[in-house]
Amino acid sequence: MVDWFTETLHPHFRQQLSIDRLLYDSRTTHQRIQVFENGTFGRVMTLDGVVQVTENDNFIYHEMMSHVPILAHGAAREVLIVGGGDGGMAREVLKHRNVRRVTMVEIDAGVVEFCKEYLPGISAGAFDDPRLELVIADGAAFVAETERRFDVVIVDSTDPIGPGEVLFTDTFYGRAKRCLNPGGIIVTQNGVPFLQGDELTNTMRAFKALFADWTCYMATIPTYAGGPMAFGWGTDGDARAVDMATLRQRFEDAGIKTDYYTPEVHAGAFALPGYITRLLP
Ligand code: SAM
């Protein structure tokens, strides 16, 4: 008899993954954490009943949310990750040797400790990198108070439910912008627009008011079910206009092995279909 994990994030659409072996199911001070093994995706972690990361498809999400802004920027030294408790985003950002410091602000220490133990392959040693500074705090409070400035801000949050809700507000976005260096870029996990269109529209409305260049870019991650996922993009600089020859050179100089990101995929990800552009303000 196979048990099934059923994700009930969306009102009229559910996805199920077989629980081939349940490894953990408990609560931290903030969220319910489950980890189980699945024959297709490897180990799967969920928070409050929503798939967060899987061993076998996380590369798409983490490569696209890290290498796109960092290679577009071209000289990122200070990177802020808000959320990212599994360590996958830190793993990819730290592959950039020119990045001097990664400040990771994660609200739930339990997620970090837990992923270190049950999903070590996701962080792949990132938590031991001397350039990583882990701050256990609410990301919204951090951006309101920090004196630090960043070249890239990556909002690797849960969906706008529970502790993640505050990371989808105009106040948060305005305070995150305050933390950007000149030419700095913010990118956000903005859900699957076919099912969560309002989430993208709301973020883009805030970005339109805040940034000279605002849009989103796309990638499809199998376990973020419902079609391509959107990543919000906001900057006052011209990083999005980087030409292909420069992007290719930067990618080559970075010497990073990827399984999804390429300079061509980077450029193509910003080409939006009609049903997405109609969600933009
Ligand atoms: N890739 C996933 C996705 O697209 O939904 C996100 C993965 S990561 C595990 C999400 C992290 O955001 C979790 O570790 C969660 O604890 C953290 N988080 C949620 N709300 C937060 C907040 N207000 N401040 C900082 N971290 C937060």
Say if strands 78-83 and 150-156 run parallel, antiparallel, or are unpaired: parallel
Do 212 and 129 reside in the same domain of the chain?
yes
Q: Is residue 145 located within the same domain as residue 253?
A: yes
Cβ of residue 272 lying under 6 Å from some atom of ligand 1:
no
User: Do 100 and 199 share a structural domain?
Assistant: yes
253 is catalytic: no
Distance (Å, whole) CA 143 – CA 173: 9
In terms of pTM, does the model score above 0.85? yes
Q: Are residues 239 and 176 in the same domain?
A: yes
Residue 30 forms beta bridges with which residues? Answer: none
Whether 53 lines ligand 1, by a CB cut-off of 6 Å, is: yes
Phi/psi at 131 (5° precision): -85, -10
State whether 40 and 71 are in the same domain: no
The phi-psi region of residue 227 (left if phi > 0; otherwise alpha if psi is between -120 and 50; otherwise beta) is left
> Shortest CA distance to 203 belongs to which of 280, 107, 266, 89?
280
CATH number at residue 67: 3.40.50.150
Both 140 and 191 in one domain: the answer is: yes
In terms of domains, do 32 and 123 share one?
no
Is there a single domain that holds both residue 123 and residue 213?
A: yes
How far, in Å, is the centroid of ligand 1 from the Cα of 1?
Answer: 33
What is the tally of structural domains in the chain?
A: 2
- Residue 259 and residue 147 in one domain: yes
How many angstroms separate the alpha carbon of residue 85 from the centre of ligand 1? 6
- Tell whether ligand 1 has an atom less than 6 A from the beta carbon of residue 140: yes
Q: Check whether residue 202 and residue 255 sit in a common domain.
A: yes
Same domain (yes/no): 258, 272 = yes
Nearest CA to ligand 1 atom 8: 84
Report the pLDDT value the prediction gives residue 161, as an integer from 0 to 100.
87
Cα–ligand 1 centroid distance for 154 (angstroms):
11
Task: Identify the CATH number of the domain in which residue 44 sits.
Answer: 2.30.140.10
Ligand 1 pocket, 33 CB below 6 A? no
Look at residue 1 in the predicted model and tell me its pLDDT. Answer: 81
**CA-proximal residue: ligand 1, atom 19 (nearest):** 164
Q: Is the CB of 239 under 6 A from ligand 1?
A: no
**Residues spanned by the domain of 155:** 58-277
Q: Which ligand 1 atom sits nearest the alpha carbon of residue 191? A: 4
pLDDT per residue, tens digit, the chain (281 aa), is 889 999 988 999 999 999 999 999 999 889 999 999 999 999 999 999 999 999 999 999 999 999 999 999 999 999 999 999 999 999 999 999 999 999 999 999 999 999 999 999 999 999 999 999 999 999 999 999 999 999 999 999 999 988 999 999 999 999 999 999 999 999 999 999 999 999 999 999 999 999 999 999 999 999 999 999 999 999 999 999 999 999 999 999 999 999 999 999 999 999 999 999 999 99
For residues 124 and 115, the answer to whether their CB atoms sit within 8 Å is no
Who's near 19: CB < 8 A, 6+ residues apart?
2, 3, 4, 5, 36, 37, 38
Nearest alpha carbon, ligand 1 atom 16: 108
pLDDT for the residue numbered 244: 98
| E strands in the chain | 3-7, 15-19, 21-27, 32-38, 42-47, 50-54, 78-83, 101-106, 132-136, 150-156, 180-189, 213-219, 229-235
- State the distance between the two ends of the chain, measured CA to CA, in whole angstroms: 48
Statement to judge: residues 104 and 187 lie in one domain = yes
Question: Cα angle vertex 64, ends 58, 65, to 5°?
Answer: 90
| ∠ CA 233-234-235, rounded to 5° | 130
**Contact status, residue 201 vs residue 168, Cβ threshold 8 Å:** no
Q: Hey, which of 29, 106, 190, 216 would you mutate to test ligand 1's pocket, going by the most ligand atoms within 8 Å of its Cβ? A: 106
Q: Which residues pair with 219 in a beta bridge?
A: 229
Angle between helices 58-73 and 244-254 (to 10 degrees): 110
